[in-house]
Amino acid sequence: MNLIKTKTEIEKYVSEKRKQKFSIGFVPTMGALHEGHASLIEYALKHHDYVIVSIFVNPTQFNNSSDLEKYPRTLDQDTSFLSTYGKSVSIYAPTPQEVYGNQVVSKQYNFKGIEHVMEGTHRPGHFDGVGTVLNHLFRQVNPDEAFFGEKDFQQLLIVKKLVEIEKLPLKITGCPIHRQKNGLAMSSRNARLTPQQLEEATFIYKILKQVKEDFETKSAKTLRAWVTTQFKNNPHLTLEYFEISNSTHLRPLSRKRTHQKYRAFIAAFAGEIRLIDNMAIN
């Protein structure tokens, strides 16, 4: 398995593969790799000859400096985690300078409103940071297709818009959320939870499942009130937001329409660790 650290090296690696007519899949990550990331990599390997996994904790997408500082960084562990894939998977682990040049700043994007709800409201500047880093990484890695998890469903829609805005020649594919047996969505942030918090965090999944069950018979207003109460009665988790939104443009649901797809979204804190999850509910 290759570990590539510079822009020049990644560009050379990819252009050599392209000369040999190989296709390239790309899985951008912030590292602390887990089975959720592995599910994306395996999906990418099914469709491409070579897969590049970027590991880069992107400073411009963090609106909270302590969250950025404490984000797990485990490059050695990640390298051995990926070594089982052999030569078909390479890691691109650049420094901020390699990605951004001298100015580590965000570009400002207009994602047509998708950026103004949920994560966008609670993490100001987050999606400009995501868009900026991916614009740089897509240009450096130059893949045929990039794979993103529905775990970050809003991000997936943002990335599809980004590719349109920047006119980038690649396909964006969303992959299902990988969960632990008890339903908890896998996340690098889970590594910061205590064993007790890991157990308590399954509450988020249970609530989403109940919302899915009740969606046909109850109104969005009733479900929102029910979820708020459930979290108020839970001493271990603090709800940041709950939303039921249209899966295409993420506008909050007011009146259910036939043939429209909806998802339920939750962001909640277990102590100081922020967790997000979502589920298709019809």
Active site residue ranges: 37
Token output for 224? 């929102």
By beta-carbon proximity to ligand AMP, the closer residue of 7 and 151 is: 151
SS3 33: coil
The backbone torsions φ and ψ at residue 58, rounded to the nearest 5 degrees and listed phi first, read: -80, 110
Q: Closest by alpha carbon to 44, among 128, 141, 129, 127?
A: 141
CB of 152 to ligand AMP, least distance (A): 4
Q: Candidates 62-70, 108-116, 145-153, 218-226 — which segment interacts with ligand AMP by CB under 6 A?
A: 145-153
Residues linked to residue 174 through DSSP beta bridges, in sequence order:
148
Under the binding rule (CB under 6 A), the answer on residue 17 touching ligand AMP is no
Query: Strands 2-4, 237-246: parallel, antiparallel or unpaired by DSSP?
Result: unpaired
Under the binding rule (CB under 6 A), the answer on residue 278 touching ligand AMP is no
Q: State the binding string over 38-77 for ligand AMP (x if CB under 6 A, else -).
A: -xx-------------------------------------
Binding-site member from 7, 24, 25, 36 for ligand AMP (CB under 6 A): 36
How many C-alpha atoms does 277 have within 13 Å on its Cβ side? Answer: 28
Query: Strands 2-4, 89-92: parallel, antiparallel or unpaired by DSSP?
Result: parallel
Under the binding rule (CB under 6 A), the answer on residue 208 touching ligand AMP is no
Q: At what angle do helices 220-232 and 202-214 cross, to 10 degrees?
A: 160
Binding-site member from 178, 237, 244, 266 for ligand AMP (CB under 6 A): 178
Binding-site member from 38, 120, 149, 279 for ligand AMP (CB under 6 A): 149
By beta-carbon proximity to ligand AMP, the closer residue of 122 and 218 is: 122
**# residues near ligand AMP by CB under 6 A:** 17
The backbone torsions φ and ψ at residue 130, rounded to the nearest 5 degrees and listed phi first, read: -60, -45
By beta-carbon proximity to ligand AMP, the closer residue of 42 and 214 is: 42
Task: Give dist(CA 125, CA 35) in Å, integer.
Answer: 28
- Sheet containing strand 262-270, strands side by side: 237-246, 262-270, 273-280
Under the binding rule (CB under 6 A), the answer on residue 275 touching ligand AMP is no
Binding residues for ligand AMP, per CB under 6 A? Answer: 29-30, 36-37, 39-40, 148-149, 151-152, 175, 177-178, 185-188
